[in-house]
Amino acid sequence: MDNRNLDAIDLRILAELQADGRITNVELSRKAKITAPPCLRRMRALEKAGYIQGYHAVLNGKALGYAVTGFIFVGLASQKDADLKHFEERVRKWPEVRECHMLSGEVDFILKCVAQDLSAFQTFVTETVTAERNVASVKSSLVIHPSKIEPGVPIEVPA
């Protein structure tokens, strides 16, 4: 996708939706400075073109009983394509893993995980991740507190 085809109105729509996915079309059109029908058409076109991948609510993990967030750094014994894909398929089945990124450098994957408590996190690391086929090394770090959480991407809207 190439954003060179996006004009200032498209960028404003994207910025507003990224800030508030529940914004009404009427309010969105007001902020984009266009009427509601073309605003809705533009939004649908942005969805169809793949600029908007979805809408979701941001939940409070602690309020839902997930007191621990941690990162797990995983190194595999083999980086053959089939082995990498196998690990990714396994990770998709683990509900504790909220994000998984393949990396270059010292480790192959970083997993962002949640757990109800430290014991549950440790059990997940030792009994699930470490026990997985082809896993050669596992290191983990616990989040003390998040300093910045800003999903999405920076969008510069021309004045």
User: For residue 159, what pLDDT band results from cuts at 50, 70 and 90?
Assistant: confident
Q: What is the pLDDT of residues 74-96, one digit of tens each?
A: 999 999 999 999 999 999 999 99
Distance of CA 60 to the CA centre of its chain: 15
**Percent of the residues in the chain that have a pLDDT greater than 70, as a whole number:** 97
Residues ≥6 apart with Cβ < 8 Å to 116: 65, 66, 67, 68
Question: Whole-model pTM?
Answer: 0.89
Grade residue 1 by pLDDT with cuts at 50, 70 and 90: low
Q: Max Cα separation, the chain?
A: 57
All domains of the chain in start order, with CATH: 3-48 (1.10.10.10), 68-142 (3.30.70.920)
Tens digit of pLDDT for each residue in 105-158?
999 999 999 999 999 999 999 999 999 999 999 999 999 999 999 989 999 998
Mean of pLDDT over the chain: 96
Is pLDDT of 9 > 70? Answer: yes
Find, among 129, 134, 135, 131, the residue nearest to 115 by Cα: 129
With CA atoms as reference, report the closest residue to 88 among 99, 77, 96. 99
Split at pLDDT 50, 70, 90, the class of 3 is low
Predicted pLDDT of residue 2: 60
Structure tokens at 105: 């450098």
- Neighbour order of strands in the sheet with 109-115: 97-102, 109-115, 68-76, 135-142
Strands 109-115 and 135-142: unpaired
Q: 109-123 as b/e, with b when 16 or more CB fall inside 10 Å?
A: bbbebbbeeeebbee
The β-bridge relationship of strands 109-115 and 97-102 is antiparallel
